[in-house]
Chains A and B, each alone.
Chain A
């Protein structure tokens, strides 16, 4: 190998089977205290509903469980190990104080139905976080209830529908740019809106002429990601808002890329009517291998009557409580009040930053993305030369000539010690390499990344097979996804 990865070196890691394969009767990792009430006869209490057998549930000891999950954990890449340049996913540092304060007794053990008078601490957290997010977005009101970004989209579109319904005309469709996340059209379908695609112009922005042609009184809203998935700020954003508003439509903003804007510009100021945030992106709550997320939805005043119930409110005695009687509400989108544990973490993040820290964070995120763009320009094809904010999208056009595609380059990046960037998205860039470093990367880490990407580009020219066969350094090589889907094995079964 001509290029030696500077960031990573192979080392031994432990093999580990499935937990069921370690199980044997009589081992246990639990111990219950003695009962302080009389024992009961389950058969008598439950009758035919009594269960006698728990099938193949495992029986293992505590040390085995610790080793099992610790070994599994070492097979994962993580932000804690290094740069995670997944575009549009905003994989930033997850501060540990967040985890610590989320576990403080009264917050971790608070029951959602405990009386409001002994819930003032939790309610105060909801209130303070709401106020912060409202100022950050420049909106008028917010609901913290949605469990994730896509759930926020659904909540937002439900409010859009309720708003139009109250205007006497529910409308029929949602305009969605061809560069949008898949959740946008999927959400529109869940709220029974037809989806109409809106094409991008040559600079990667909304095609204003197309928007003008497609906008009419059947359009309920435009779902726009800004900066869009190319990392490009929609410079004509106010014109876009005006076109929609002139025909009574609403501007929905997907806040997935809010990390490019916090403290610098506010969606509420450039014409957005409703938007969701992803606390697990912009506000540092951990992704945890795919969740939990949290997707608050911020809105302009005119949408306030339609907020999901319950709504946090200050009572006449100065205490906080929930208001349930909201006749125009879209209803409840989940049980209880939302992913409260994520609210605690997001607020701790905001407190650790303050206004100056949040602004610096945004500036660093944009600086980092542009530094990488500069570093890789020329080596990889840049399909849109428009200035970018917090992420940059290259294509595999130059490498494809040698038969190497974006996924191959991504897999080779693993051997260099990095998590891959986002591949093959947005759809408007064939063979996309979508890179978002976030503010959490040092100059050294990014220099290593650029060096790795350049080395791979060299390899593509000199020895494409090495790239095509990558990764070479992982526990398993590329997995057979076709077989997995054709004959799904979705659970372990004992060998008979």
Chain B
């Protein structure tokens, strides 16, 4: 009897220790998460605070919002002086979506070939693709300008989309290839044994497993296209300019004045769609994970 109680006490102690350890681990996770949030969001917070400040108080350094106004957001969307921020937002989204979709599609093709097929020149192809990420982007503008002028593409959407695709493709192909390599491809073969075509097997078995990788690559591609400025600043027209160019077009009321508040407002507006995008896609990540677990 007494031994039994002692044993139970011992077990309780062990369980409590385990629980404590668990709690401690959880606690550490939350502390780390908080640190990450502060690191990532503090400068962005400052952007938002400045975005809501009156122009006359641009340089105020109170940590909390002061001299609050919506003027900067109204200015950002004001079209009377030839700003096309709204249009530019749509352009950026359109260009980003097309670039992401196309580069993922052809990137997945290429990655599948590189990870799964045996063929000669594989290393040459890999080197070629990587080599495309080695030339200074600033030096691409002049040749591209001349090329697109010659074929009459200046200011068109394709003149912005095709360079962007090329910029994100090397990363897309490399990421997808490295992930495809890690896939349990035996599953694909067993699915085919079960009567799936190769295409079906790829779609139904491999794609769900690769979902986190594909999602990640998609986000990377989209943001990189979203951020692109140099090429767009020279190759776009008023009608096709993306949001980065539109922000560079912001001007103060006076010649040398830098419109910090309006730029910060634009930065705030531009960040929001991306955050929403990520929150929506969260489900996809989770779906990918569960599929992985069930396998």
Partners in one complex: no
B residues apposed to A, CB below 8 Å: none
A residues apposed to B, CB below 8 Å: none
